[in-house]
Amino acid sequence: MPRGAEANPLGPSLVFLFPIVTTNHIAALPSLPEALAAVCRSQHRSRYRIRGIPVFLPDRSLCGSFSPLVLSHEGIRMAFIYKYHTLIIILSLASSSLLVSSGEDDYFHCESVVRNWVEYSSEDGTKEGELTLKDLLFFLHVPRTGGRTYFHCFLRKLYTSAQECPRSYDKLNFDPRKPNCSLMVTHDDYSLLSRLPKDRTSVVTIFRDPVDRVFSTYEFSVEVAARFLLHPNLTSATKMSGQIHRKSRGVSTLDIWPWKYLVPWMRQDLFARQNGVQRDTRELGRPRKIKEITNPYDMEEIVMPLHEFINDPMAHEIIHNGATFQVAGLTNNSYTVDSHDVRNCVQKHPELGHFVLEVAKRRLNHMLYIGLTEEHKKSATMFAKLVGAQVLSQSEALNSDFKQAISNETEPTSFPDPKAKGSNQFEGSTNIRKDSEVPSSTHFEPTRENMSVGTLMEIYESCISTLRKSQASRRTMSLKRVAPVNFSKQARISVPMTVLQQIQYLNSLDVELYKHAQNIFMLQQKHLMQNAEDFFVQPDGDLMAEVEPQKATCGSFYRCLPWRLFLAIALLMIVVLIVLATTTSRRTEKLKI
């Protein structure tokens, strides 16, 4: 029998005697019984050392309080294992408590950061419901909402290139305190307004259903990235696009937020998948058979699937709830110093998102105009009447300046040229050519000082027809490089409902803000219905029907009169005719008598 198995007076209380003894110490106790016997005879009862190991004992005698029991090495080991596991559980609970405490501290820190930003943002200096066009029109272009159509077919017909503010991407290219321009169109977020004279700036924007906007963002990213596939590899594509951009006078799509992040990311992914297909072809000795097309949004052999796209960190950073963050001024392209911290806190703690949402809603309330992509025709008509009419009115006061300005000739634009043919297909996809090459009916348009709201709408309809044909042709050419992938509204039906629901969930703030934008849109419609067919906004901000000022913006004086006035005049004429008829009849009867 081993020495450790001899009788031992400590019995089960050993677990309390060695709270600091480890399993490594157990092997050093071959003479434990003898050592414990010496302890029993000792006068010291508080602390003892057994073979150099400190042992803490209760304040009672070991020898007279416990009956002799057999103490084996196995018993000692079991006692220490029990003690060890107990310690692990305690430490785990303590660690969990620390994590919870740390999580709570992080939440409170984030709540403080967000609340401080909200307080700062509430001092934006704008008045709710102002409907008067000010000196500077800031078109806040939310990506994939149809803003480029408004720019080419509305704003460029209303403003000259000399009136456009210089293009600004990483920094402002003009003195924001004294802007010598009247129009700024940019993908920058609302924080840019902090650099502009707020009391002289009106903001307009367009909103789109969040799910459709995510679809469109995905499709456009693939479309633009696919144009680079004419190069043999990613290195060549990157090098060539850089050379073209340096030689070009225009602005590259890769300069514009958010495409400067999304397109390179998608381009790298396309080349990686293309390389995989080529590698499989070499190994198999024949082209790999691509599965039957049932869902073009899930063809992982060629293009990043939509479900993978929406779950990538890049999408979480830039795309999801992008409209809300853009209106709130919290994108990764923001001029607000703490935008990253606020956005990061909202992403970590979604329950804080309602603070950002309320700020975004309030800013929508302050805007001059809000359009809806889904209500294209109504939105365009409303823009012409609410914004276009005021621009045309202001143009009369600046008529001499308009005559001196050369329209749409040399100023580069942040919107891709809608017409690129032949060998310029690749260059036109990422670089914008001169504005003079943009298809338009400039030579047949009336001068701005003679333009009316009606003629503006006619010009707009003609322009969008040409623009859409050009965009469709360009899209077809690009997607041929990733055939058989072909996106369309009809093809979106094949996307599983689970993916659609996930998009809605990931864009919950945008969903709520879009509902708010719809409500504002309805209020704008009511203003138009309650006022004249064409109206002018007085300096005090009230929507009023004015006959004389609208002669310049209406094709006919009578078109500018409210329908109620027409009705009153018609009723008055009827009454006069009846009175005349009655009077004539009485005179005839008297003559007969």
pLDDT higher than 60, residue 573: yes
Q: What is the pLDDT of residue 482?
A: 92
Among 231-240, 412-421, 482-491, 529-538, the minimum mean pLDDT is found in 412-421
Q: What is the pLDDT of residue 566?
A: 65
Question: Which tens digits make up the pLDDT trace of 455-513?
Answer: 999 999 999 999 999 999 999 999 999 988 999 999 999 999 999 999 999 999 999 99
Among 101-105, 162-166, 270-274, the minimum mean pLDDT is found in 101-105
Q: What is the pLDDT of residue 417?
A: 47
Q: What is the pLDDT of residue 29?
A: 44
The partner residues of 69 in beta bridges, in order of sequence, read 8
pTM (whole model) above 0.75: no
pLDDT higher than 50, residue 13: no
Average pLDDT over residues 62-87: 58
Question: Which tens digits make up the pLDDT trace of 303-343?
Answer: 999 999 999 999 999 999 999 999 999 999 999 989 999 99
The partner residues of 137 in beta bridges, in order of sequence, read 183, 202
Q: Can you tell me the distance from the alpha carbon of 159 to that of 395, in angstroms, rounded to the nearest whole number?
A: 9
Q: Using alpha carbons only, how large is the chain's radius of gyration in Å?
A: 38
Q: What is the pLDDT of residue 294?
A: 80
- Burial of residue 6 (number of CB atoms within 10 Å: 0-12, 13-18, 19+): middle
Confidence band (pLDDT; 50, 70, 90) for 290? Answer: low
CB-facing half-sphere around the CA of 455: CA atoms within 13 A: 19
Q: Which helix (H) or strand (E) holds 499?
A: helix 497-506
Tokens for 333, please give them. Answer: 């392209």
Average pLDDT over residues 75-87: 68
Q: What is the pLDDT of residue 264?
A: 95
pLDDT higher than 70, residue 414: no
Question: Which tens digits make up the pLDDT trace of 174-207?
Answer: 776 667 889 999 899 999 998 888 889 999 999 9
Tokens for 275, please give them. Answer: 């390389």
The amino acid at 200: R
Question: Which tens digits make up the pLDDT trace of 334-389?
Answer: 999 899 999 999 999 999 999 999 999 999 999 999 999 999 999 999 999 999 99
DSSP 8-state class, residue 252: B
pLDDT higher than 90, residue 142: yes
pLDDT higher than 80, residue 592: no
Residue whose structure tokens are 């609208």 = 550
Q: What is the pLDDT of residue 580?
A: 80
pLDDT higher than 90, residue 217: yes
Give the 3-state secondary structure of 419-486: CCCHHHHHHHHHECCCHHHCCCCHHHCCCHHHCCHHHHHHHHHHHHHHHHHHHHHHHHHHHHHHCCCC
Task: Kindly report the average pLDDT of the chain as a whole number.
Answer: 75
pLDDT higher than 90, residue 578: no
The answer to whether 271 and 234 have CB atoms below 8 angstroms apart is yes
Average pLDDT over residues 105-114: 92
Average pLDDT over residues 285-291: 62
Tokens for 460, please give them. Answer: 């707009």
Looking at the chain, the whole-number percentage of residues with pLDDT higher than 90 is: 44
